[in-house]
């Protein structure tokens, strides 16, 4: 497998399947781990950073779960390639910064990715379509156990797994669920949802996680702290909150359709018409309109449109993907032209 092969593959988390997939886009489990005997990455000297990278790579290469995987050295990738990987949710935006001594391992199905030397020595991530958070946890736990048989983690009997950021200390687990909540945004309820979730010790982040904005009515719900809670407790808590959010979004959609059906239908078809006819379109406008069309598909207003295709367009229309497909650097204006061409081509023949 090569990096370029990913461009023509359908990401596992965009399949549009799994529990509650009409609202839950994906579920992710991420474990933060550090190697015993080494400084945390941000405090390590260059030689030590290189040692961490080589030791981690060696352990991952021997894992039975990562036999069909691709290792990428961040320093050897172009800026577009790095952003391409962020857009596919295979690594964090922070992993792009200062790429020296950093690596990324991806399995052949794009379900598992392991960042080496991000904030922690290892960030093991499993990403599943729909609300498959328990399945994602079991898979991530198995991979973590397998790797731990080959290296020794930094661990305290009092504090648990030791991490660069105190909020991850303990289990080192971050569970995240990405939801599509257009009805709650349309009815101005999303602010109250943010406040309620914050009081419960959870947080809502943007499309690419921590430090990013919510775009296209997509939000990531995740735990804030890992210390003092077991993995199962954290996952159960996330699951309970997500279940309530799904029900609230569904009931709000039903109310909107009952009270404002004509306005909803008009809004959705206007979005569809704009995307199918636009010659120039920005990334921000594209995601907003695709979000509206996805709602129309879920509500059976827009027929004969493949939801998977809509999901893929969220990623394919991002800047790095457009430039990878074109095989060259594009100015923002050129990307806006290319994006519009791609959308029209993908929506051709849909009714």
74 contacts 104 by C-beta, under 8 angstroms? yes
| Predicted local distance difference test score (pLDDT) of residue 351 | 45
CA–CA separation, 239 vs 133, rounded Å?
8
Report CA-CA distances (Å) from 86 to 47, 137, 174, 227.
Answer: 27, 22, 18, 27
| Predicted local distance difference test score (pLDDT) of residue 208 | 52
Gyration radius (Cα) of the chain, Å? 21
Q: In this structure, which long-range contacts are made by residues 279-282, counting pairs with CB atoms below 8 Å and at least 24 apart in sequence?
A: 279/337, 279/340, 280/333, 280/336, 280/337, 280/340, 281/336, 281/339, 281/340, 281/343, 282/336, 282/339
187 contacts 295 by C-beta, under 8 angstroms? no
Report CA-CA distances (Å) from 268 to 118, 247, 282, 300.
Answer: 40, 22, 18, 11
The DSSP call for residue 207 is T
Burial 63-96 (b: 16+ CB within 10 A, else e): bebbeebbebebeebeebbbbbbbbbbbbbebbb
CA–CA separation, 287 vs 319, rounded Å?
12
CA–CA separation, 38 vs 41, rounded Å?
8
Terminal alpha carbon distance of the chain? 36
Q: CB count, 10 Å around CB of 210? A: 14
Tell whether pTM > 0.85.
yes
> Among all chains, which residue has been given the structure tokens 């549009």?
16
For the chain, what is the mean pLDDT?
A: 92
Domain boundaries, the chain: 3-249, 261-347
Percentage of the residues of the chain whose pLDDT score is greater than 90: 79
pLDDT tens figures, 63-111: 999 998 999 999 999 999 999 999 999 999 999 999 999 999 999 999 9
Residue 238 burial (10 A CB sphere; 0-12, 13-18, 19+): buried
pLDDT tens figures, 241-258: 999 999 999 999 999 999
DSSP assignments along 226-250, one per residue: -TTS-HHHHHHHHHHHHHHHHHHHH
Helix, strand or coil for residue 174?
strand
CA–CA separation, 146 vs 138, rounded Å?
12
The two tokens of residue 291 are 């979000």
Q: What is the arithmetic mean of pLDDT over 124-153?
A: 96
The CATH code of the domain at 3-249 is: 3.30.590.10
120 contacts 33 by C-beta, under 8 angstroms? yes
CA–CA separation, 81 vs 319, rounded Å?
11
pLDDT tens figures, 192-238: 998 898 888 888 876 654 444 557 799 999 988 777 788 999 999 99
CA–CA separation, 35 vs 56, rounded Å?
8
């Amino acid at each position: 497998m090569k990096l370029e092969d990913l461009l023509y593959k359908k990401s596992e988390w965009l399949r549009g399947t799994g529990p509650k997939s009409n609202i839950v886009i994906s579920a992710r489990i991420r474990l933060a781990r550090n190697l015993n005997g080494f400084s945390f990455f941000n405090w390590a000297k260059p030689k030590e950073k290189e040692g961490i990278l080589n030791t981690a790579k060696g352990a991952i290469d021997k894992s039975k779960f990562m036999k069909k995987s691709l290792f990428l050295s961040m320093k050897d990738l172009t800026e577009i390639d790095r952003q391409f990987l962020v857009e596919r949710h295979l690594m964090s935006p922070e992993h792009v910064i200062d790429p020296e001594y950093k690596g990324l391992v991806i399995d052949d199905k794009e379900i598992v990715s392991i960042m080496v030397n991000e904030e922690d020595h290892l960030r093991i991530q499993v990403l599943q379509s729909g609300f498959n958070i328990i399945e994602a946890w079991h898979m991530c736990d198995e991979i973590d156990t397998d790797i731990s048989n080959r290296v020794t983690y930094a661990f305290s009997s009092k504090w648990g797994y030791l991490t660069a950021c105190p909020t991850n200390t303990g289990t080192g687990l971050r569970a995240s669920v990405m939801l599509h909540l257009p009805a709650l945004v349309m009815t101005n309820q999303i602010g109250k949802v943010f406040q309620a979730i914050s009081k419960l010790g959870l947080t809502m982040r943007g499309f690419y996680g921590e430090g990013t904005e919510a775009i296209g009515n997509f939000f990531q719900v995740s735990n804030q702290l890992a210390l003092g809670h077991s993995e199962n407790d954290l996952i159960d808590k996330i699951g309970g909150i997500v279940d309530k959010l799904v029900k609230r979004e569904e009931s709000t959609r039903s109310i909107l359709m009952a009270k404002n059906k004509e306005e909803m239908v008009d809004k959705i078809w206007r979005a569809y018409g704009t995307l199918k006819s636009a010659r120039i379109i920005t990334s921000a406008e594209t995601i907003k309109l695709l979000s509206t069309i996805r709602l129309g598909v879920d509500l059976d207003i827009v027929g004969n449109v493949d939801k998977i295709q809509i999901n893929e367009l969220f990623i394919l229309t991002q800047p790095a993907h457009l430039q990878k497909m074109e095989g060259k650097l594009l100015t923002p204006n050129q990307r806006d032209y290319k994006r519009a061409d791609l959308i029209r081509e993908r929506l051709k023949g849909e009714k």
